[in-house]
Each structure stands twice: as structure tokens, then as C-alpha cells.
Chains A and B, each alone.
Chain A
Amino acid sequence: MKYIIAVIQPDRLDDVLQKLEEKEIHLVTVSSVMGRGRQKGIPAVYRSHKEAGSLLKKTKLEIAVNDEYVNATIEAIVQGAQTGEIGDGKIFVMDMNECIRIRTQETGNPAIG
């Protein structure tokens, strides 16, 4: 079992979700986050005061998958989120100890899917 966290450009979310759907990965948690990497954002201007813009709006996806789905998930995220520009984001893959479905208290692999 793996826990995959991806930080992507907010405007790529729809594409990533569609690619995941195509690969039958339906379970995903999405949140709006702020972050920064090497990318420089578009600085906002308020009454001619340019914001430093050090933190940028990003979208974070969290997906728990069984091992056989890891590559498909990564592939889907890359396909959906890649533009080739700096700031496309990152994918982190972590080992996951346990997963429990609250409704049935199933654990392990069946609980994920």
C-alpha cells in the first residue's frame, strides 16, 4: 500500500482527475494549498505595490493505492499535470502502514479500493 501526494498547478486539476478516471482510480482527496518551489509566480499589484509573491497557489492531491496501481497513478498525474514549464509540481510516494474503512472496519488492501 502506498500513499501518493502530488502538488500540481491548480489549472491542471481537471486534466489530472480525468486521466485518473481513465485509469479507474476514483479515490482522491484534493485541497487548495500554498507553496513555493523554483518557480516565480505572477506578482499581483495592489495600488502599484507589487506583492513579492513568494508563496503560490497550488493544488494538492492525496491518493491511497494498492501497490499494483502505483505506476498507473503516477502516470495519470504526470500526463495530466505536465506542461514542461517550471512549476508543474512534484509527486511524493510513501509507504502506508494501514488503512481502515470506517463503515465496515475492513483493513488493508480491501479497505483502499
Chain B
Amino acid sequence: MKKVIIEYKMLIPAILFILGAFLIFARQTSTPAMMTVASIQLPVAAQAAAASNTMAIHPVAVPAQTAAAAPISRINSGDTAWVLVATAMVMLMTVPGLAFFYCGLVRKKNVLSILMQCFTIMCILSLHWVIIGYSLAFGPDLGGKGLIGGMEWAFLEGVGLEPHNFYATTVPHQVFMIFQCMFAVITPALIIGAFAERIKFSSLCVFVLLWATLVYDPLAHWVWSNGGFLSTAGGMGVLDFAGGTVIEINSGMASLAAALIIGKRKGYPDKISPPHNLPFAVLGAGLLWFGWFGFNAGSAMAANGLAANAFVTTHLAGATAAVAWAIMDCIYNKRPTVLGIITGAVAGLVAITPACGFVNLRGAIGIGLGAGVLCYPVVAFLKPRFNYDDSLDVFGVHGIGGIWGVIATGLYATTSVNDAAANGLFYGNPAQFWIQCKAAVITIVFSFVVSFILLKVVDAVMGLRVTDHEERIGLDLSEHRETAYTILE
């Protein structure tokens, strides 16, 4: 009997492989996706022409002569090189950046659970992104209301190696897609800080897939897609350069919902041991900061002056907020703390995210200062007062920092930086300030409510939380049957 079970289990990988191969083959026979691979082997001139036609949104059979007459590729090698590098930098933000930032802040017994959650989210959401996520977020609008993308680009059908006409017009469409993929990956990964040390791994996986589909993808569509109802392309006109609404407010509000639903850790607040490895947290924060240059300056989708502006404002806001936090630590705790200065830096980087391509250096310093001054009291005073256990302060840093950043974009934005955008309140345009406020409120409500419902559903169906006994042992051992550190040799 036992032998039969083992053989059956050994068949599973083979079955999955056959299923996967079948799935890919089935898609490819019905689309011209194979041709993109074939075109690489053509001579350069013919390749550019052939590829541009192959990648047209509605693939049609084009005679070879017509193809040769097609315009030269619009791909700019500098832009493409930069966005590819930026994409890799944003990937680095999730693992190991965020993973180490978070794992340093938890107890020894939960280190691996954090690393595992970040790593797993990166893998499953990347698959989710190419299968349906990208199409839901950036695909041709479904119904013309700017609420959600259709399924035309599911499995990246039609998402090829030539630039899209609207998104990132000088880099291959697939580069834009994979850059956005890293954003879709890091956002749910941020949320794990709220329910760290007590979440059931299987429930987490189900939750992030649902959340990506029903919260992240729609919101990304609203703000960034062609025709999204909050977007500058035919929508309300919110200025969000790199994701203050879609990523920061969104993850922050979902985290607040998660912290409220899953409840406090056993022993919170006084019987929880301190962060087990602050050097890890510093390493992670440094990698996050590094990756943020890709995140923000990469969002310019070009290697140009706007990218430079985003790069510099990002750096300045992070530095300003870090110093602001350290000073407040000196005032309230008599000492500047390491955890304080890195938390401040992250808060500043969060706040500059929506603004980095619209504000000048003065704006960046103002936003950084605001981030430190606003996030600090939430983390230090409000959280203990309301007694919720947002374990790693995702709401306090990303939620509050994001809200401030989105609103502050409406204060500091100036067309002298980005003439395609709008002025903010300080440059004589109060209308933009109201748009930013409205967009922030819409994001807050949408993200909190839908995340709350999703978490309730997952909790009811499969339970969000591990048992008390498992929590006591630690998730490393109870959820993954591993431990991070050995004590004896």
C-alpha cells in the first residue's frame, strides 16, 4: 500500500510538466508568439520590420513585402537598457531588500517564515502577472469605464518586443510589462509585515492571489492604464509617478485591515522579544533604498532628465525623512536609534514615490520632512494608543507615508519639472490638490474595504492564523519545518 502512494506522488511532477507544456503549446499555436522567437534569427533590417508587425495589437497575416515597408523600430537602446536595469533593481527590493528588512525585525523563530513569504509572493505573483494580472491592470479597458482591463493580454498575448503605442513608447512592451511585474510583486509582499509571526502560510498564498486580482490590478488600472478612471489619460487626473496610491496607500490600508482582522500576537505588546537582528534590517533598508532608484527613476520609462529628477528627489526625500526621524527619536527617546533612522528613510522614500517626477528638490525636502514628522507619531504614539498589532508598521510607514506623498504631490508639483503634468497648490493650482485628495480617499476606502472583505473570506474558509501552539513554537518550524539558526555546531 505504502509503495503505491510513493509512486503516485512521484507522478505528480510529471503530470504538472505535461499539463504545463500542453498549456503553453495550446496558447502558442493560436497566437503569433512563436514568431517573435523566430524573428530574432532574421537579418537585422528584416527582423525589426517583421517584429513590429508581429507585435501589432491585432495580429493579422501580413505579406512579406508589406512587412519590409513597415517603419523602423521605435526602441531606444538607452531607455531600454535603463528600464531593464531598473526592473532588476526593483526585483532586489522584494528579495532580499524587504525580506531582510522584515526578517531582522521579527523573532528568531520566525525569520525563515518572512523570507519564505517574500520569496513565494515573488514567484506566484509573477506567474499571476503574466497569466492575468498584467491584462487586468494594463490591458485594453473593459467596458470603457476605466475600472478594469480586459483579458485580451492574458498569457501576454500580443505583448511583444515592440513598444506599445501608449505605455513606454521607446522600450519593448515586454520590458514595460516586467517592470510593472516587480511592482505587482512587492506590494503584497509589503503587507506581510502586518501579520508577521502568526499568519498561516497556505492562507497567505490564497490571500495574495485574491488580493492581486481584486485590489492591486484594478487599482493599477484606475491610476496608470490608458483610460483608467483616476488616471491622467482620460480620467480624474491624479499625479502618481511611481505608485503612491497603487503601492503605498494600497499596501498600507490592506495592512491595517489585516492587523485588525488577524489580531495581536500572543504577548503583544510587552512580552514580545525585541527585533532579533537589526543589522539585517539595516541591510534590507539599504537594499530597499538602492532599489527605490529603479522604482522611481525607472518609472520615467526613459533614460532622460525626468529620470534624473526622480532619482535625485528620491534620494533627498529619503535622507531628509531619516534625519527628521532621528531628531524626533532624540526628542522623545533621548537617543537616535538605528531602527528609527532606517524607518525614517523608508517613510521618506514612500512619500516621494508619487511625487518624484513632478517636484523639484525643495519639494523633495518638504515631502521628506513631512514623512518623518507624520509617520513617527503614528508608529510611536497612535499604534500603542489604539492597541492594534501592525507588527512591522506597514500602515504607519507605507499607509501614512503614502497618503502624505499623494497629497503632497498636489502641493509641490510643478510644471517646471514635468511640463506634461500639472502645478500643485503651492504653484497656484488648488484644483490639482483636490484631485490628489480625492484620489487618496478613493484609494484608502477601496483598498481597506476590499482587503477587509477578502481577509474575512479567507479567514472564514481556511483560517488566517496558526494555532496558539504553532505561534509559540514559531512559524519557521511549524509552517516550514526548518529553523534559521543552529545553536550547536
Real binding pair: yes
CB-nearest residue of chain A to B338: A46
In Å, the complex CA distance between A50 and B333 comes to 9
In Å, the complex CA distance between A47 and B383 comes to 11
Residue B332, interface by CB 8 Å: yes
CB neighbors of B among A47-98 (8 A): 47-52
A-side contacts of B332, CB under 8 Å = 48
Residue B19, interface by CB 8 Å: no
B-side contacts of A45, CB under 8 Å = 329, 333, 335, 337
In Å, the complex CA distance between A46 and B329 comes to 10
In Å, the complex CA distance between A71 and B114 comes to 52
Residue A44, interface by CB 8 Å: yes
In Å, the complex CA distance between A47 and B381 comes to 10
Beyond A45-B337, A47-B339, A51-B274: 19 further Cβ-contacts under 8 Å?
Answer: A44-B274, A45-B329, A45-B333, A45-B335, A46-B274, A46-B275, A46-B339, A47-B340, A47-B379, A47-B393, A48-B329, A48-B333, A48-B379, A48-B380, A48-B381, A49-B269, A49-B384, A50-B333, A52-B270
Q: Which B residues are within 8 Å of any A CB, using their own CB?
A: 269-270, 274-275, 329, 332-333, 335, 337, 339-340, 343, 376, 379-381, 384, 393
In Å, the complex CA distance between A47 and B342 comes to 10
Interface size on A, residues (CB 8 A): 9
In Å, the complex CA distance between A45 and B296 comes to 32
**What are 26 A-B contacts with C-beta separation under 8 Å?**
A44-B274, A45-B329, A45-B333, A45-B335, A45-B337, A46-B274, A46-B275, A46-B337, A46-B339, A47-B337, A47-B339, A47-B340, A47-B343, A47-B379, A47-B393, A48-B329, A48-B332, A48-B333, A48-B340, A48-B376, A48-B380, A49-B269, A49-B384, A50-B333, A51-B274, A52-B270
In Å, the complex CA distance between A44 and B273 comes to 11
In Å, the complex CA distance between A48 and B333 comes to 7
B-side contacts of A52, CB under 8 Å = 270
In Å, the complex CA distance between A44 and B276 comes to 13
Least distance between B176 CB and chain A CB atoms (Å) = 37
In Å, the complex CA distance between A50 and B173 comes to 50
In Å, the complex CA distance between A50 and B335 comes to 12
B-side contacts of A46, CB under 8 Å = 274-275, 337, 339
CB-nearest residue of chain A to B397: A47
In Å, the complex CA distance between A45 and B384 comes to 14
Least distance between B110 CB and chain A CB atoms (Å) = 16
Check B274 against A47 for contact (C-beta < 8 Å): no
Least distance between B341 CB and chain A CB atoms (Å) = 11
Least distance between B304 CB and chain A CB atoms (Å) = 38
Closest 9 CB pairs of A and B: A48-B380, A45-B333, A47-B379, A51-B274, A46-B339, A46-B274, A52-B270, A47-B339, A44-B274
CB-nearest residue of chain A to B105: A46
B-side contacts of A51, CB under 8 Å = 274
Least distance between A57 CB and chain B CB atoms (Å) = 12
CB-nearest residue of chain A to B381: A48
CB-nearest residue of chain A to B337: A45
Least distance between B54 CB and chain A CB atoms (Å) = 53
Check B270 against A47 for contact (C-beta < 8 Å): no
In Å, the complex CA distance between A51 and B376 comes to 18
A-side contacts of B333, CB under 8 Å = 45, 48, 50
B-side contacts of A49, CB under 8 Å = 269, 384
In Å, the complex CA distance between A45 and B331 comes to 13
**What string of 1s and 0s marks CB contacts (under 8 Å) between A27-56 and chain B?**
000000000000000001111111110000
Least distance between B485 CB and chain A CB atoms (Å) = 15
B-side contacts of A47, CB under 8 Å = 337, 339-340, 343, 379-380, 393
A-side contacts of B381, CB under 8 Å = 48
CB-nearest residue of chain B to A52: B270
CB-nearest residue of chain B to A48: B380
In Å, the complex CA distance between A113 and B276 comes to 40
In Å, the complex CA distance between A37 and B161 comes to 69
In Å, the complex CA distance between A48 and B381 comes to 8
CB-nearest residue of chain A to B328: A48
In Å, the complex CA distance between A46 and B269 comes to 12
CB-nearest residue of chain A to B325: A47
B-side contacts of A48, CB under 8 Å = 329, 332-333, 340, 376, 379-381
CB-nearest residue of chain A to B377: A48
In Å, the complex CA distance between A88 and B215 comes to 57
Least distance between B398 CB and chain A CB atoms (Å) = 14
A44, A46, A50 pick with most chain B CB within 10 angstroms: A46
Least distance between B401 CB and chain A CB atoms (Å) = 14
A-side contacts of B275, CB under 8 Å = 46
In Å, the complex CA distance between A48 and B269 comes to 12
B-side contacts of A50, CB under 8 Å = 333
A-side contacts of B340, CB under 8 Å = 47-48
A-side contacts of B384, CB under 8 Å = 49
In Å, the complex CA distance between A94 and B275 comes to 37
Least distance between A56 CB and chain B CB atoms (Å) = 13
Least distance between A33 CB and chain B CB atoms (Å) = 13
In Å, the complex CA distance between A50 and B270 comes to 9
B333, B335, B393 pick with most chain A CB within 10 angstroms: B333
In Å, the complex CA distance between A35 and B333 comes to 25
A44, A49, A51 pick with most chain B CB within 10 angstroms: A49
A-side contacts of B335, CB under 8 Å = 45
In Å, the complex CA distance between A50 and B332 comes to 11
